[in-house]
Structure 1
Amino acid sequence: MQIAVTTPTGNVGRHVVAMLVRAGVRPRVLLREPGRLAPGLRREVDAVQVDQHDAEAVVAATNDVDAVFWVDPTPGGEDPLADHARATTAVVRAVAENRIGRVVFQSSVGAEKRQGAGEIDGLAQTEVALDGIGVDVTHLRCGYFFTNLELQLDALRAGCLQVILPLDQPMPWVAPRDIAEVAVTRLLSPDWSGRHVQAVHGPGDLTWREVAEILTEATGRRIGVERITDDAMRAQLGQAGLGDKAIEAIVGMSTGLREDFVPEQPRSVRTTTPTTLAAWAYERLRHRLGDVS
């Protein structure tokens, strides 16, 4: 089986590649900068330099592929939804023209809304487009990544996270490595076909208050959390240099899921994965936040 993996140096993709290699598979990895691969890994994969927004390049890079793990690349332009649309065009053309048998797509909790959830709407577009070509596809509806906290190291060092969700609203939190495990299991399993939605919810739903308590215990540094207004968050993002469309795409991921949203898949043994936030934070954050006096 020839398996292609996109974003192979990303939070999930790097684990997918390593797991496939350990399973005896030589994956074809698609990335903009092959030099970013770890030297030891380069001998175990076939690396193809490609921009996932370039449909022609993606079609060429996935020739003779049997299955693909597809992740829409992180938007880098002024309009994130337009970037997602370009990535969607690329994967749909590649799957259709190369007759790729199956796709495992990294989506998100909230994509089932189809619209009104900011950047998640772009993932919903990809889901709909893949469904439309009749490919065997599993959409991984992932919870909130633990690794998103690594984007807030300054706030963690200052001891206070700022969010726009209600502090007592629970939501699924998940380790990227656990997502990769689900993805690889799907890629290698012959026992499914058709369209599937597989939620990946982590070990438990957490409120932001609970997250702050867990981080405090795991890192040894007192960390609090406060809710700020939507406009205050917009102002912060604007000061960071983001444009209006990018700001609304980010803010919408919270505002679109904070009222009357119920995930399509309830938590179950199928959707629950093992890695806890406490274990992940102890390993990944404690040393990065510095010594605590």
Structure 2
Amino acid sequence: MRIAITTPNGNVGRHLIRMLVRVGVRPVLLARHPAQIARELRPLVDIVEADSLDRDEVVAATRGIDAVYWVNPSPMTADPLAEHARASEAIVGAVRANGIRRVVFHSSVGAEKRHCVGGIDGLAATELSLDALDVDVTHLRCGYFFSNLTRHLAAIRQGEIDTVLRVDHAFSWVAPRDVAEMAALCLLDDGWQARHVRAVHGSRDLSWRDVTRILFDHVGNAVAARQISDAA
């Protein structure tokens, strides 16, 4: 089986590559910056330079591919839905042009609402685009990454994390490695067909208040969560 992985240097991709290599798969990595692929992996993978927002590059990079782990790149402009739409066009174009039969799509909790969830609406639109194809597709609706806490390191050191959510509102969290394990299972298992949705969550939901208590146990200094307005 020829398996392609997008965002190979991402939080999930870097784990997924190693999992596939360990079971004997030589994955094809679609990378915007091939030089960033870890040196020890290069003899064990095939690397193709491709931007996941460029339909033509994705089509060219996925010729001969049987299955693909697809991630919409994190939007970097003021119009995230437009960027998600470009990513959708790229994977749909590749599936149609190259006869790819299986897609594992990295989606998110909230995509099931289909609208009014901010940038997640773009993931919902990609789900719908893939569902319209006559291929086997699994959507991984993932919780909030624990690794996202690294974005708050300065705030953690200062003792206060800002959030637009209620600080006592519990929601799903997950470790990127756990997402990679689920993606690997879906890519390697040929016993499923049609459309599937898998929730990929941690062992329990956590509020920001819960998280700050856990941080205190590990970093030693008190950390508080503060709700701020959407405008702020």
TM-score when normalising by structure 1: 0.78
What SS is found at the alignment partner of 1:205?
Answer: coil
Aligned residues: 232
Moved over 3 A (4+): none
| Distance in 1 between residues matched to 2:176 and 2:141, nearest whole Å | 12
2:155 paired residue number: 155
Q: How far does residue 154 in structure 1 lie from its aligned partner after superposition? A: 1.1
| Distance in 1 between residues matched to 2:230 and 2:63, nearest whole Å | 45
| Distance in 2 between residues matched to 1:191 and 1:149, nearest whole Å | 36
2:184 paired residue number: 184
Q: How far does residue 35 in structure 1 lie from its aligned partner after superposition? A: 0.5
1:51 paired residue number: 51
2:208 paired residue number: 208
1:230 paired residue number: 230
| Distance in 2 between residues matched to 1:218 and 1:103, nearest whole Å | 38
1:122 paired residue number: 122
In angstroms, what is the RMSD of aligned CA positions? 0.8
1:90 paired residue number: 90
Matched, 1:63 2:63: yes
| Distance in 1 between residues matched to 2:94 and 2:204, nearest whole Å | 36
Q: List per-residue Cα deviations over 1:27-73 (Å, max 9, x = no partner).
A: 00001001001110111110000111110110010000000000001
5 Å-filtered alignment, 1:15-34, equals 15-34=15-34
2:36 paired residue number: 36
What SS is found at the alignment partner of 2:209?
Answer: helix
What SS is found at the alignment partner of 1:170?
Answer: coil
Q: List per-residue Cα deviations over 1:243-280 (Å, max 9, x = no partner).
A: xxxxxxxxxxxxxxxxxxxxxxxxxxxxxxxxxxxxxx
What SS is found at the alignment partner of 2:162?
Answer: strand
Identity %: 56
| Distance in 1 between residues matched to 2:224 and 2:18, nearest whole Å | 35
| Distance in 2 between residues matched to 1:139 and 1:21, nearest whole Å | 23
The unaligned stretches of length 5 or more in structure 1 are 233-293
For 2:77, the aligned partner's letter is G
| Distance in 2 between residues matched to 1:196 and 1:135, nearest whole Å | 11
For 1:129, the aligned partner's letter is S
2:168 paired residue number: 168
The unaligned stretches of length 5 or more in structure 2 are none
| Distance in 2 between residues matched to 1:208 and 1:77, nearest whole Å | 27
Q: How far does residue 230 in structure 1 lie from its aligned partner after superposition? A: 1.6
TM-score when normalising by structure 2: 0.98
